């Protein structure tokens, strides 16, 4: 009987400790995965810069990967917890060709100002193929945000996935991410 009580007490203590790990959840997360990955230090600087630009309106978190992994990227998109993804052009085109779902950004951004963000998305539903061309992604080249870490890699694009927890918050943060230097 004493072993059962001790085991129960240990399990309760562990669950309390593990529940507290990580602190409060951010209002919005941005997931970034450049072609060569991104260091933890750079990710932290991007997070600090973004939080400073957003201010007290909401809390943001920036998560990245030190290596590029298509498997990890697929899991991150499928999990549905991120408000914005920042990826290389090659991945954007691949997702668009395979019917990945992006939020149409035309109600929020001027399509003419972002011609490279206008892409065709192919939806395959059984034997029917539908193509839609809209402003789905925004280029981040030359932005204050990426300049805050002196990013010099391949061009990156930001998009809001259809499974974003809060599209309005994502749009507000995306407007901050796209501010030119």
Does residue 6 carry a pLDDT above 60? no
The span from the CA of 29 to the CA of 59, in Å, is 9
In terms of Cα–Cα distance, which of 125, 146, 121 is closest to 134? 121
Residue 11 pLDDT level (bands cut at 50, 70, 90): very low
Tell me the pLDDT tens digit for each residue of 63-104: 999 999 999 998 998 888 999 999 999 998 888 877 668 999
* Residue extents of the structural domains in the chain: 25-177
Residue 17 has pLDDT above 80, yes or no: no
Could you tell me the pLDDT band of residue 30, with boundaries at 50, 70 and 90? very high
CATH says 25-177 is which class?
A: alpha beta
- Quick check: 8 pLDDT over 50? no
- 7 falls in which pLDDT band (50, 70, 90)? very low
- Judge contact between 116 and 134, C-beta under 8 A: no
Non-local (6+) Cβ contacts of 62 within 8 A are 29, 30, 32, 43, 44, 46, 47, 50
Strands 84-88 and 28-32: parallel
């Amino acid at each position: 009987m004493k072993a059962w009580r001790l085991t129960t007490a240990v399990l309760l203590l562990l669950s309390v400790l593990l529940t507290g790990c990580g602190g409060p959840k951010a209002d919005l997360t941005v997931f970034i995965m450049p072609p060569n990955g991104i260091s933890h230090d750079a990710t932290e600087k991007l997070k600090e810069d973004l939080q400073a630009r957003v201010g007290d309106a909401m809390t943001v978190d920036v998560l990245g990967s030190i290596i590029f992994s298509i498997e990890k990227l697929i899991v991150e998109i499928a999990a549905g917890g991120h408000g914005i993804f920042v990826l290389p052009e090659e991945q954007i085109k691949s997702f668009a060709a395979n019917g990945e779902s992006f939020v149409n950004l035309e109600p929020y951004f001027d399509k003419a100002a972002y011609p490279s963000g206008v892409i065709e998305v192919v939806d395959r539903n059984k034997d029917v193929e539908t193509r839609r061309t809209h402003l789905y992604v925004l280029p981040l080249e030359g932005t204050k945000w990426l300049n805050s870490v002196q990013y010099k890699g391949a061009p990156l694009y930001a998009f809001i996935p259809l499974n974003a927890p809060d599209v309005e918050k994502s749009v507000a943060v995306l407007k901050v991410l796209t501010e030119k230097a």
